[in-house]
Amino acid sequence: MKLLRYGQPGKERPALLDKDGGIRDLSEFIDDVSGPALSPERIATLKALDPASLPLVDGTPRIGPCVAQVGKFICIGLNYADHAAETGADIPKEPIIFNKWTSAIVGPNDNVEIPRNSKKTDWEVELGVVIGKGGRYIDEANAMEHVVGYCVINDVSEREFQIERGGTWDKGKGCDTFGPMGPWLVTKDEIADPHQLNLWLEVDGKRYQNGSTRTMIFQIPKLVSYLSQFMSLQPGDVISTGTPPGVGLGIKPEPVFLRAGQRMRLGIEGLGEQEQLTVDA
């Protein structure tokens, strides 16, 4: 099942995507695609619906972020062996954790703003993992029971803010619009193996990232279990699991960074595509 949200910012409505690509409104059954609707029991109820019985949405509405009211937007750094190599970093011994502020979240095709005084805004296609069942101190063997599904995330990053301005990575990661999410939340039953997915990103038609989740250092069960040792995970929390090689920072001989007026296009096998125009903040 592919869950989504459509409509203008702040006024999105819940929906699912039918087999023909039509948007079917779910407002009669759930308030939003958010924590309370993502429990195993609620997902089972939604799966039992006949999509053809739901109202078909006319036209081509804006698609909003696929998860609403995200409590925590947790990110994992340097989680692909080939990406760590391109940055010259050592393979982490434990997952590197940082945060994107929830105010960074936008729809998959909304504009991405280049922050004021930015010199090094960069891109990162990532697999998003959405929590459906909360918990603490989760065993790795049971971790996938807590995952409801997956989505595409562009972990947009300002490298000077992140690396050169002191402190933690967070201030270069959480700028407004730095978290395009969607187009849909794909329930985990539709993805046979999330560690065998191709993912890619282009800027102005040039392919920069072309990787696979096969090269993840810490896989999803490990990440869910690990994070739950330090915080409770709650329904609707989103984990962005790292990026493959090809980020602008790693390009040789000179890094390449974004400027206003460019188009990013990115996607993950089975999870859909995004496209954003960059604009000045």
Are the C-beta atoms of 70 and 234 separated by less than 8 Å? no
Q: Where are the domains of the chain?
A: 2-53, 73-280
Query: What is the spatial distance between Cα 71 and Cα 250, in angstroms, rounded to a whole number?
Result: 31
Q: Residue 126 forms beta bridges with which residues?
A: 153
CATH of domain 73-280: 3.90.850.10
Convert the pLDDT of each residue in 103-139 to its tens digit.
999 999 999 999 999 999 999 999 999 999 999 999 9
Note the pLDDT tens digit of each residue in 161-220.
999 998 888 999 999 999 999 999 999 999 999 999 999 999 999 999 999 999 999 999
Report the pLDDT value the prediction gives residue 273, as an integer from 0 to 100.
98
Q: pTM here? A: 0.97
DSSP string, 159-174: HIIIIISSS-GGGGT-
pLDDT value at 90 more than 90: no
Band (pLDDT 50/70/90 cuts) for residue 81 is confident
